[in-house]
Amino acid sequence: MIKLKYLTTSIIALTAVFALAACDDKPESTTSEKVNEVATDVNNVVKEAGEKVDEVVLEAGQAADSAGKKMTELVDSADAAAEESGEKITDIATDAGNSVNDAANSVSDKASDMATDAGNAIEDACESAKEGVAAQDTDC
């Protein structure tokens, strides 16, 4: 953008210089020759300006292409990270579910064992009480 500004300024300055040069009081060349020279010079400057614009456009296209490639790389990287995170979350949820299931089974097993122990203790107490009173049927 700055190059284009300098180029435009240069074209304007050169046009002014050539216009002033055409007003020279020396009759060395004719007006038509001076106009032809100025036209040729302006044509050359415009050609150079066009080449500069082409260069700027090419550089801008290359920069846009490079930016597009970088964006594709970033999107691919983010996609891979999201997929990996999803897999980790699934693994954590599975592990947590298994831990809860194991804990529930352990609590159930302990409660069952405690109920069995309590029943056995009650039966033993009953049998002891029947033996203590000399009951004929000691079975509880």
The alpha carbon of residue 7 and the mean position of all alpha carbons in its chain are separated, in whole angstroms, by 39
Express as a percent the part of the chain with pLDDT over 70: 87
| Position 6 pLDDT exceeds 80 | no
CB atoms within 10 A of CB 7: 19
H-helix or E-strand spanning residue 88: helix 31-132
Higher-confidence position of 20 and 126: 126
What pLDDT, on the 0 to 100 scale, is given for residue 27? 55
| Position 4 pLDDT exceeds 90 | no
Secondary structure class of 23 (helix, strand, coil): coil
| Position 34 pLDDT exceeds 80 | yes
| Position 138 pLDDT exceeds 60 | yes
CB atoms within 10 A of CB 140: 12
Q: 25: pLDDT confidence band, cut at 50, 70 and 90?
A: low
What pLDDT, on the 0 to 100 scale, is given for residue 93? 93
Q: 26: pLDDT confidence band, cut at 50, 70 and 90?
A: low
Burial 8-27 (b: 16+ CB within 10 A, else e): eeeeeeeeeebeeeeeeeee
